[in-house]
Chain A
Amino acid sequence: MIVETGHFALVLAFVLALIQSVVPVWGAVTSDRRLMETAAPVANALFVLVALSFAVLTWAYLASDFSVVNVWENSHSAKPLIFKISGVWGNHEGSMLLWVLILVLFGSLVALFSGNVPAPLRATVLGVQGWITAAFLLFILATSNPFERIPQAPIEGNDLNPLLQDIGLAIHPPLLYLGYVGFSITFAFAVAALILGRIDAAWARWVRPWALLAWVFLTLGIAMGSYWAYYELGWGGWWFWDPVENASFMPWLAGTALLHSAIVMEKREALKVWTVLLAIFTFSLSLLGTFLVRSGVLTSVHAFAVDPERGLFILVILCIFIGGSFTLYAWRAPLLKQGGLFAPISREGALVLNNLFLTAATVSVLVGTLYPLALEAVTGEKISVGAPFFNLTFGPLMIPLLLAIPFGPLLAWKRGDLLAATQRLYAAFGVALLAALAVFWAWGMRQVLAPIGVGLAVWIMAGAVAELLSRTRITEIGLSRGLSRLVGLPRSAFGTMLGHFGVGVTLLGIVMATAFQTELVRTVRPGDTFDMAGYQLTFTGIAPRQGPNYTEQVGHLVVRQGGAEIAAMDPSKRIYPARGMPTTEASILTFGFSQLYVSLGETRDDGAVDIRAYFKPMITLIWLGTLVMSIGGIISITDRRLRVGAPKPARAKTAGLSPAE
């Protein structure tokens, strides 16, 4: 009865989503307030129904109800509790249900926290959410129903892929989905603005927190996935330009651009049409990512779903939403009023530059991801587009953007003074130059690009701090007054500072770990000692060990520095008998920001074993940087103040202030 209640709740949610798709929008178009008012309660009811359905599926996993096909296929009665829960979304059907749950959660949040949004806009936004919800619920019910039953229930399930039995992968998909799906709100706002034919600075004010929220979750989700790949896959890489990674990275790039253009729109009412386009583009990329991962067109670890019918279904949803919204855009966008004016050298100009580079970078990733698929579909020729392609396209597009980051916040709105901004960055430039010289002095010509990279990273970090300090005018008015000004700064200023600082931190990690890592692959026998970046590692032997649902061969190494024993490392190779699947468990030691990483390879008959060891200087900065960025984002969200971009008045009257064009 419980299971069927969950199933019925899902069916009910689908029909309710159909109603939500029609009634509020109808009300908004005909200005009928009562119709519009249905939007919020229906959005909440949708959330309750889908949450009930999800809770029921979770119950079926916890109770090992193998009469549910989905549970039978992906669970096992002896699985640890945490993986019974994470098993709910460790498979295609469950993860789609989670996707929709997060979608309706955002709908419900909009219903609860958008009391200040005009009724027609709110009703239309929730209506558009209703379209997406209905489409994906139909997809679930028609092709991926998690509540399918077996009359004769088997007595034991098939267990979850051991690679997914990991705490990192238990939280990675929900975080990523919170990001992916969060951009559905900005999409709904954009489509609603197009339908209602009205868009202004207030619109951006309402959209900003949602875009920030989605962006923070996406940032954390991507970072988590990257760290998981680093420690679980056993070869020390943290980014592979794998299509699945790209699928989450593209919405992040576009979403970052959206955050910045929304600032311009909120403060200066410029870039309206562009912001709307970007909002549509970002969610389209989220949908594309969902399609790539869920349809199985890229057979890889993430593709649990291998069913052409599903792929086709998502493709149709994709085409309807992307095609429909772009058509709507082409039709309605010219009717939107243009906003404020600005000079090329200005805060707006800097943000346009940011958008330009981010969008171009997004497109380069998009091409690299889709080109092999398209080429294979058209000519049958199989190619792989790997790191070299992205290093050559994405890299050069990022460098000017990164160089420009510190300038942006220092330029005034409307018309900026590049010279004045540069003067305020002298100190930051000096620090960066010193850092670059220090790296050059320490490592010499061995790594030509490393000093430049480190200099760039320090430039961004120092620039972020310099911007904050210059806003306090601490050098002009003294420490105590400066500090009181610092406290008085809007929280969004700290958000900006941390966001940009985090980019620098991540870049520093990337440059250091890439340029100065030491790698060593060798065959060792018990008693062998080798050197690794100033540490002496002694291999003492390998022994079998029995885990709860696996057996493993554990190697043991003693780490010494200057003769003193400082740590032990136990990398292992596991076999999960339920699926006969081996995994490599690397052993990682952290020293400050740097890490020593050891994984095991093949064991020889004579007791020798292949070992792969890395020293990765400052690698943890890569993920710490994303954490800093996310904290910046959260601080910005908590800034509830209505911000205004005070334009710098024209000295001469030549440039008219009339905003309408």
Chain B
Amino acid sequence: MTRKQRRLTLIGIAAVVLASAAGLILYALNDQIVFFQTPTDVVAKQIPAGQRIRLGGLVEDGSVQRSDDAKVSFRVTDTANTVAVTYVGILPDLFREGQGVVTEGIVGPDGIFRADSVLAKHDENYVPKEVADALKAQGVWKGDGASAQ
């Protein structure tokens, strides 16, 4: 191979790798990201059943019901609208009624949200960032400005 051919081979391989990397990233960005929605979004946007979303808000007071084998159902609210959620598994330490929560899963055909993960981060004062913003928009947020940054 001549020097030029060698260089072309290298550049060619590099181009192929980078192009496939870019392709993968673009494809994944279209397909694998999950949008954050509030209960109001879920009601207003008519999110189709089966689409994967993150649902965030406050756990409605008195809505948590447990049954055997770690099944739990509760309602997530942003004070304007409310969505019923079911989840099987162990809830995080800081999952409490009246506190912020983010759940990920799909909306079932019956309108009930089936969560496969529930996040409540590990800080007593922590309200997930998305939830804080959404609640602020609803005028419910009363936390100090600093902890919502």
Contacts and interface: CB of A to CB of B under 8 A. Distances in A.
Interface of A: 161, 163, 233-235, 296, 298-301, 306-308, 341-344, 349, 352-353, 356-357, 360-361, 363-364, 367-368, 371-372, 381-386, 388-389, 392-393, 396-397, 521-523, 573, 579-584, 599, 601-602, 604, 608, 610-612, 655-656, 661
Interface in B125-149: 126, 128-130, 132-133, 146-147, 149
B83 to A, nearest CB: 17
B66 A602 contact: yes
A393 B126 CA distance: 31
A349 B90 contact: no
Given A356-B13, A389-B28, A397 B21 contact: yes
Nearest to B147: A306
A385 B149 contact: no
B122 A397 contact: no
Contact of B149 (A308, A372, A388, A582): A308
Interface string B19-50: 01100110111011111100000000000000
Given A360-B21, A392-B27, A580 B122 contact: no
A601 B32 CA distance: 30
Size band of the interface chain B makes with A: 35 or more
Contact of A300 (B14, B31, B36, B121): B121
A393 B36 contact: no
24 contacts: A234-B90, A234-B93, A235-B90, A299-B121, A307-B146, A308-B149, A341-B6, A342-B6, A344-B1, A344-B9, A353-B17, A357-B17, A384-B36, A384-B104, A385-B29, A386-B104, A396-B24, A521-B90, A573-B93, A580-B124, A583-B93, A601-B70, A604-B66, A655-B3
Nearest to B132: A299
Given A367-B25, A396-B24, A610 B124 contact: no
Contacts of A656: 3
Contacts of A393: 21, 24-25, 28
Contacts of A343: 1, 6
Nearest to B34: A384
Given A344-B6, A382-B133, A610 B29 contact: no
Contacts of A386: 32, 34, 104
**Centre residue among A161, A306, A604, A610 by max chain B CB count within 10 A:** A610
B122 A381 contact: no
B94 interface: yes
Interface string B42-83: 000000000000100000000000101110000000000000
The 4 closest A-B pairs by CB, nearest first: A601-B90, A382-B36, A360-B21, A388-B32
Given A307-B146, A356-B18, A389 B33 contact: yes
B112 interface: no
Given A384-B34, A393-B25, A353 B90 contact: no
